[in-house]
A = this chain, B = another copy of it.
Amino acid sequence: MNTFHEGIQAMVETERDWNPSRPCPEAQVPRWDREFDVCIVGFGSAGGSAAIEAAEAGARVCVFEVASGAGGTSAMAGGDIYLGGGGGTPAQNENGFQDDTEDFFRYMMMAGGADADEARVRAYADGALGHYEWLRKIGVPYRTTYIPGKTMMPGTGDCLILSGNEFAWPYSDHAKPCPRGHLPEATGETGGFVLMDAIARRAKEIGVESSFDTKVRALIQSEDGRICGLIAVQNGETIYVRANGGVLLCAGGFVLNREMLEQYAPQVNHLSDDALSGGYDDGSGIQMGMGAGGQAIHMDELFTTFTFYPPESNVKGILVNEQGQRFINEDAYPGRVAHHCVRQLGSKIHLLVDEAIYTPPTELSRWELAAVGETWEEVEEELGFVSGTLVETIERFNAYASKGEDPLFHKSPDWLKPLIEPPFAAIAVTVGESFLPYFTLGGLRVTIDGEVLDGTGEAISGLYAAGRTACGLPRSAEDYSSGMSLGDCTFFGRRAGLHAATKAAG
């Protein structure tokens, strides 16, 4: 009978609908099932890196993860980490690139957009080389090889790639360009998996405890406002966990929460339903932080991109909107190009190519050959464009390209070539629909040590965030470079873990 009643009691307790937006007052906690120095919510690259640092600083650490193993969205990524400065990483140096810290800093400030966080960028620029060493030390394998040119994730196991707008206007005017995307040695697009595998192994080795299949439902707040624990559901049972040093939210972004997306980033309605996520970016980390008084910023920033190349010869083509106008230097990073595509009136963008440069795009399914002709007039007519619009755009582009100039959009001479060899073609992409999976950049406002800040800039005692639960280095979809997010997750995850461990010790 007792067992039966206890079963019912457990069920009732589980079914209590903990609202992540409301911290549970400590006074309402019926018991403490576990106790740690640092509790981490989410075992992606941010949570894992934080756990390693916290444990190495002597803290008792547990990572609570809703999935059945470590990985999160990080494991789904290509594994690219944006690194440089200090003269250069081994991969940069071996391939002839010297990367000055100030160039790295200036580029990262531009890549952070209008509200780039100078203190955060400074810490990262100064610390990126040391971070590379740390990644190697915990077991992430890196070659020192370089894949030159414009590429997406190559999947060859090589290391260095160009993963942003470094060589494109206007960025190249303000910081000496250098490739800075660093991929782990991995076959296919498994770089993120390799990264997470190293992080998870290292965490286990040094005694980090993991609680998988565990959904954190709410934070616990003491009477003086400090976050002192969490409530989670594990195997259908509610557990109350005390955190002496703090709770660190590393639960990803909100790209799977449609309601949040529509309320913060309604431009999602112009995109496909294709979210980039390991399956659990439900916004609950951000909600728990906001519920404790944390401020969530840049929640409107949604990064999306499209397979404009490879082949890189496409970069020599030009992109036009439905008015037949060019609108961006086509050698900008595809994420930036995609951002400007979304801004155009109309839903179709066309890539114009000639026989000399055309090779079918790798991801053909996302593109459609819309028109082919022996003259650009034929292509214009076949597309149904207003007479003269496309032809004049092409003629002006060709006239300047033959001189190695692009006075209107500043495409680099490397990619300028008149489109004069028939047949000519227009390849169509539908804005949004044909783009790659998107993810969110907005999240909790945090110090460089991950302390969550309220609306007046005051830190909420005991509460930390890192990774896409926080708003970190990447906060402008228009200016984003690949590798910034994982760089931010791992680097600032480490700092947050260390800070929380220090608090626990103090």
Is A467 in the interface zone, CB < 8 Å from B?
A: no
When C-beta atoms are compared, the residue in chain B nearest to A386 turns out to be B407
Complex CA distance for A326 and B395, rounded to whole angstroms: 18
Residues of chain B within 8 A (CB-CB) of A272 are: none
A334-360 residues with Cβ-Cβ distance < 8 A to B are 343, 345
* Interface residue tally for chain A (C-beta within 8 Å): 55
Is A408 in the interface zone, CB < 8 Å from B?
A: yes
**A20, A270, A296, A388 interface centre (most CB from chain B within 10 Å):** A296
A361-391 residues with Cβ-Cβ distance < 8 A to B are 386, 388-389
Is A300 in the interface zone, CB < 8 Å from B?
A: yes
Residues of chain B within 8 A (CB-CB) of A260 are: 455
Choose one: B283, B293, B408; the contact of A290 (CB below 8 Å): B293
* Closest chain B CB from A318 CB (angstroms): 13
Asked if residues B295 and A290 are in contact (CB atoms below 8 Å), the reply is: yes
* Closest chain B CB from A363 CB (angstroms): 27
Complex CA distance for A63 and B496, rounded to whole angstroms: 43
* Closest chain B CB from A446 CB (angstroms): 12
Residues of chain B within 8 A (CB-CB) of A388 are: 392, 396
Asked if residues A20 and B455 are in contact (CB atoms below 8 Å), the reply is: yes
Residues of chain B within 8 A (CB-CB) of A68 are: none
When C-beta atoms are compared, the residue in chain B nearest to A112 turns out to be B266
Is A402 in the interface zone, CB < 8 Å from B?
A: no
Asked if residues A408 and B386 are in contact (CB atoms below 8 Å), the reply is: yes
26 chain-A/chain-B pairs, Cβ below 8 angstroms: A19-B454, A19-B458, A20-B455, A21-B293, A21-B454, A21-B458, A22-B225, A22-B293, A114-B269, A115-B262, A115-B266, A260-B455, A266-B298, A266-B476, A287-B455, A290-B290, A291-B293, A291-B454, A291-B455, A296-B296, A299-B300, A323-B408, A327-B345, A345-B409, A389-B408, A392-B392
4 extra interface residue pairs, beta carbon distance < 8 Å, beyond A114-B270, A287-B456, A343-B343: A114-B267, A115-B263, A290-B293, A290-B455
